Structure 1
Amino acid sequence: MSDNLLSRFLRYVRIDTQSDETSKTFPSTPGQLVLLEMLKQELTELGAADVQMTRPGYVMASISANTRKARVPTVAFLAHVDTAPDCSGKNVKPIVHRKYDGRVVKFPDKPGLTLDPATSPELRTAIGKDIVTASGTTLLGSDDKSGVAVIMTLVERLLRETKRKHGLIRVCFTPDEEIGRGVDKLDLRMLGADVAYTLDGGPPGEICWETFSGDAAEVIVDGITTHTMEAKAKGMVNAAYLAGKLLAALPRERCAPETTDGRDGFIHPIHVEGRTERSVVKFLLRDFELNGLADKGKILRGLCRGLQASEPRARVRCKLRKQYRNMAYWLRKDMRPVELAREAFVAAGLKPYDHVIRGGTDGSRLTELGLPTPNLFCGEHNAHGPLEWVAVQDMESAVSACAQLAELWERKS
C-alpha cells in the first residue's frame, strides 16, 4: 500500500492548487480543476461507482455497499484539494527522507532553513519512518493532499478487500477550503450521506469534533486626498494613516493568534490595502463560544467608532460576515460519529485522542447544515509553511483507521 499511497501523494503535491481569496471564480484557481480532473480519472480507473465532477467543481464517487443489511448509514469521506494562500504552492519539489534518523532536516533550496526536533518535537515520533518535506521555498501541501491521498487509497483498499463488509461509501473532494468557500456550492442531497468525516488533521489518533466559530470583518476607511503640496491647507485626510491607527489600537497582547492559545480566541488582521483616499483592512474573528465571538465583533466595532470620532472628516465602516460555527454545538447532541471513530482507531492499533481545532474545517459548515462531520487525522504537521511535513506511515494508519470505520458503521447498524 505504501508505494501507491506515496506515489499518489507526490503526484498531487506537484500540482499548484493554491486558492485565491481575491478571485471571483469557483474554484478560485485553475490548478484546483487540474487536480480534480485527475482525481475523477483515477477514481474511474480504480473502479469506483457514480464518479462525477459537478459543474461547481466537486468530485464525488461511490463504493457500493456489499452488505445484506438494509439500513446501514451512508458514510462520506471528504478532503480538500486547495492549499493555503499563506505560502507559495508553485513548483513544489517534494523530498522523501527514508527512515528518518531524528537529525535536523535541511532544505536544498533555502540554506539556513531547518526542520529541527528541538522546535518541532513531533518529529521524534517519526524516527524510522519515511517523511516527506518540500525543498524550502514552498509549502508541501500535506494540508490537505495527505487527506486526498488517504481517501484515494481507501477507495482502492475497500474495492479490493471485498470481505470487509460496509454500507454505501461516498467520497468527495472539495475546492477552496482554505479561503472558507469549500462547501458553499456543495449539494448535500447529491452527496447523499448520513454521516461524514473530513481527513484534514494531524498526528495518528487525532479526532477533532470541536472547532472555533468564525466571522470575517472588513473595515473600509475613506479619506480625503489632495496634492501633497497643499495637503494642510486643503484638509487631506490620509486613510492609510487611519488604518494604521486602527491596527495599533488592537488589543494584541491578549487577543491575537500569536499571543493566545488553548481556548482563547482572537482578532487577526490578515490583509491591509492602503491608499490616501481609501484603505481596507480585513480581519478574522475567532472564538470557541458565540458570546466570545460576539465580544470580538463589539471590540472591533468600538475601535472603528473611536477612529471615526477622532477624525470626523473620514468615513469608517465595519462589515461583519458569518463564516462558520463550532461543530461541537451539534455533535454534542449525537456523539455516535465520534464514538465510532474512537472505536475504529483502537481496532486499527491506535490510541485515539480528542483535539480542539483553533480553526475551522469544511466539517464545521457541514455539521451546521445537518451533516455531522468530525475531522480525522491524516498526518499533517506544520501546515501552511515551508516546514510542513508528513510521515508516509501515518497516512497509512489513516487508511487503516478509515477502513475500520467503514466496517464499524455496518457492524453497529
Structure 2
Amino acid sequence: MAAATPAPFTSPLAEALAPALLERFGRYVRVGTQSDRDSETVPSSARQFDLARVLVDDLLALGLADARVDEQCYVYATLPATIDEADGPVPVIGLIAHMDTSPDAPGDGVEPIVHRAYDGGVIELPRGGTVLDPERMPDLAEHIGHDLVTSSGDTLLGADDKSGVAAILTAVAHLVAHPELPRPTLRLAFTPDEEIGRGAHHFDVEGFGALCAYTVDGSEVGELQDETFSAAGATVTIVGHDVHPGFATGKLVNAARLAAEVVAALPTELTPERTSEREGFIHVYDVQAKAARATIHAIIRDFDDELLAAHGDLLRRTVDEVVSREPRAHATVEIVPQYPNMRTFVDEFPEVTRAGELAIEAEGLVPLRTAIRGGTDGSQLSAMGLPTPNLFTGGHEFHSVREWASVQEMSAAAATVVRLAEVWTTPEFRGASR
C-alpha cells in the first residue's frame, strides 16, 4: 500500500504543541494507574500516586507553585490570570482529567508505538495477536494520514484519560511560556478512580473555587458533551442450598444455575450491544457463582431518570420470578445510584457550554454537541454545584487493547484548551456568574 499523505493539523498552534504533547503522553501512559473496583481504599489503588507525583513535579517545573497531591490522590494546582481585575472580573475556570485507567484490560507495562502517517491498512501490533482493522473499526478508517499511537497489543494504551492529562499540561506549558496571551485564573485538578465511578467522591469543590470547569475526557475531535447517562450499579445475591452432589436429589438448590437463569431471562434488546444513541441498558459485567451462593454485578444506564428506575424494577422482577420458583432459595437486589445526567445542572449555566463551543470554533472545528453513553467526573461535579461539561481528547477504542489515539487530534484538544482560556477573558464571559 502506498504511503499516505500526512494529515494536516487543525491549526499552526496545534502543530506547534504536538511534539511536547506526544512526549508527555508517552511518559504518562507508561505509568500504571489502573483503578480497582473491589478495593475500598481511597484511592482504590496506590499506584495512582505514582502518576500524581509525576504531575506535581511537572506542574512545579512549570512554575505552578501551589501544585500538590492530597492524601486521597487528588492533584490540584493554579495557573494565575494574566488579565487585570481593574478591567473587570477575573473568572476562575477549572480544567480536569482523570489519572486512572480502566480495570477492564491489562494496564501494566504499557509501551506506546507511534505509527506515522497511517496508510489506511491493517495494523498488526507486536504482542497479544492484536489487530486494528479499519473494516471493523470505522473510526480508524477515517484517520488515514494521522500519526496514531497504540499500545504494543497486550495492554490498553491509557488514552482514557492520559490524553486529556497531557492535553491540559501541554496547554498550560504553552500559556506559561506566553504570558502575553490573555487567560483567566485556571484551576487544575487530576482525579483518581474515575473509571470505577468514584472520581468526584472526595473532590474539594469549595476549595477548588471555580465558576465552572471542563473535563477533558471525550473522544471524537470537536466533541462538547453536556449530557451523560444517569447511572446506577446493581448487585444481585442469590443464596441456594448446597449438599454433596451424590446426595443432592430433592435437596440441592444450585445458586449458580439460578444466576445463569437470571442473566438469560434479562431482555437481550436491553443490553449495550443491542442499544444505541439515547437507549439505555442493563449490562451484566461480572458473575461470581458457586452452588451455595452467586453474585451478579450489573450497571444500569439511561438518559431518562424514569426509564433508569424502570430498568431497575425490571431487574428486580426478573430476579424474583426466577428465584421464586425455588422456595428454598433467597435473593436480594441492591441498586445504588452512581451518577446523574449532568444536563439538568449544566443547563442552569449556559455560558459554560457556549464558551466551549467558541473555543472549539476558534480552533477551526465544528462543535459536536453529543450525549455521552457513559459518564465523566463532570456528572457528579455538576450535581455537586460545579457545572462541568466534557471536551474531546482524540482517543478511541477506550478500555481495550485496541485503544489508539491521533496525535493531530490530541494536539487539537490542547490547542482548544488554550483557546478556551482566551474565551473566558472576553467581555461576554468575564462578568458571568451563577
Answering whether residue 139 of structure 2 is matched by residue 139 of structure 1, we say no
Please tell me whether the aligned partners of residues 219 and 395 of structure 2 are also in contact (alpha carbons under 8 angstroms).
Answer: yes
In structure 2, the partner of 1:281 is 296
Distance between the aligned counterparts of 1:131 and 1:86, measured in 2?
A: 22
Query: How do 1:1-16 residues align onto structure 2 when only pairs under 5 Å count?
Result: 1-16=17-32
Please tell me whether the aligned partners of residues 135 and 141 of structure 2 are also in contact (alpha carbons under 8 angstroms).
Answer: no
Answering whether residue 418 of structure 2 is matched by residue 400 of structure 1, we say no
Q: CA offsets, 1:51-84, max 9 Å, x none?
A: 1111111001000011113423211111111111
Q: Tell me which stretches of 4 or more aligned residues in structure 1 moved more than 3 Å.
A: none
The one of 139, 143, 151 equivalent to 2:168 is 151
In structure 2, the partner of 1:63 is 79
State the identity %: 43
In structure 1, the partner of 2:3 is none
Query: How do 1:94-133 residues align onto structure 2 when only pairs under 5 Å count?
Result: 94-111=112-129, 113-133=130-150
Please tell me whether the aligned partners of residues 48 and 155 of structure 1 are also in contact (alpha carbons under 8 angstroms).
Answer: no
Answering whether residue 34 of structure 2 is matched by residue 18 of structure 1, we say yes
Please tell me whether the aligned partners of residues 107 and 155 of structure 2 are also in contact (alpha carbons under 8 angstroms).
Answer: yes
Answering whether residue 103 of structure 2 is matched by residue 88 of structure 1, we say no
SS at match of 1:4: helix
Instruction: Tell me how far 1:151 sits from its aligned partner.
Output: 0.8
Instruction: Tell me how far 1:379 sits from its aligned partner.
Output: 0.5
Please tell me whether the aligned partners of residues 49 and 64 of structure 1 are also in contact (alpha carbons under 8 angstroms).
Answer: no
Distance between the aligned counterparts of 1:49 and 1:405, measured in 2?
A: 23
Distance between the aligned counterparts of 2:220 and 2:298, measured in 1?
A: 29
In structure 1, the partner of 2:61 is 45
SS at match of 2:344: helix
Specify the code of the residue in structure 2 equivalent to 1:109: R
In structure 1, the partner of 2:314 is 299
Distance between the aligned counterparts of 2:136 and 2:257, measured in 1?
A: 37
In structure 2, the partner of 1:74 is 92
Distance between the aligned counterparts of 2:378 and 2:54, measured in 1?
A: 24
In structure 2, the partner of 1:331 is 346
Instruction: Tell me how far 1:258 sits from its aligned partner.
Output: 0.5
Instruction: Tell me how far 1:119 sits from its aligned partner.
Output: 2.2
Count of residues in Structure 1 that have an aligned counterpart in Structure 2: 410
Instruction: Tell me how far 1:332 sits from its aligned partner.
Output: 2.2
Please tell me whether the aligned partners of residues 93 and 210 of structure 2 are also in contact (alpha carbons under 8 angstroms).
Answer: yes
In structure 2, the partner of 1:266 is 281
Q: CA offsets, 1:115-151, max 9 Å, x none?
A: 1222222224432221100111111110000001001
Instruction: Tell me how far 1:192 sits from its aligned partner.
Output: 1.3
Distance between the aligned counterparts of 2:140 and 2:246, measured in 1?
A: 58
In structure 1, the partner of 2:12 is none
Instruction: Tell me how far 1:16 sits from its aligned partner.
Output: 1.2
CA RMSD for the aligned pairs? 1.2
Specify the code of the residue in structure 2 equivalent to 1:67: I
Instruction: Tell me how far 1:211 sits from its aligned partner.
Output: 0.7
In structure 1, the partner of 2:10 is none
Instruction: Tell me how far 1:154 sits from its aligned partner.
Output: 1.3
Query: How do 1:153-192 residues align onto structure 2 when only pairs under 5 Å count?
Result: 153-192=170-209
Distance between the aligned counterparts of 1:4 and 1:391, measured in 2?
A: 14
- Structure 1 gaps, min length 5: none
Answering whether residue 331 of structure 2 is matched by residue 313 of structure 1, we say no
Answering whether residue 241 of structure 2 is matched by residue 246 of structure 1, we say no
Distance between the aligned counterparts of 1:243 and 1:42, measured in 2?
A: 49
Please tell me whether the aligned partners of residues 363 and 373 of structure 1 are also in contact (alpha carbons under 8 angstroms).
Answer: yes
In structure 1, the partner of 2:224 is 207
Specify the code of the residue in structure 2 equivalent to 1:328: R
In structure 1, the partner of 2:214 is 197
In structure 1, the partner of 2:8 is none
Distance between the aligned counterparts of 1:114 and 1:355, measured in 2?
A: 29
- Structure 2 gaps, min length 5: 1-16
Specify the code of the residue in structure 1 equivalent to 2:380: R
Specify the code of the residue in structure 1 equivalent to 2:356: A
Specify the code of the residue in structure 2 equivalent to 1:58: Y
Please tell me whether the aligned partners of residues 223 and 314 of structure 1 are also in contact (alpha carbons under 8 angstroms).
Answer: yes
In structure 2, the partner of 1:382 is 397
Q: CA offsets, 1:26-49, max 9 Å, x none?
A: 111122110111111111111113
Please tell me whether the aligned partners of residues 92 and 187 of structure 2 are also in contact (alpha carbons under 8 angstroms).
Answer: yes
SS at match of 2:297: strand
Specify the code of the residue in structure 2 equivalent to 1:94: P
Structure 1 range deviating more: 162-171 or 120-129: 120-129
TM-score under structure 1 length normalisation: 0.97
Please tell me whether the aligned partners of residues 258 and 323 of structure 2 are also in contact (alpha carbons under 8 angstroms).
Answer: no
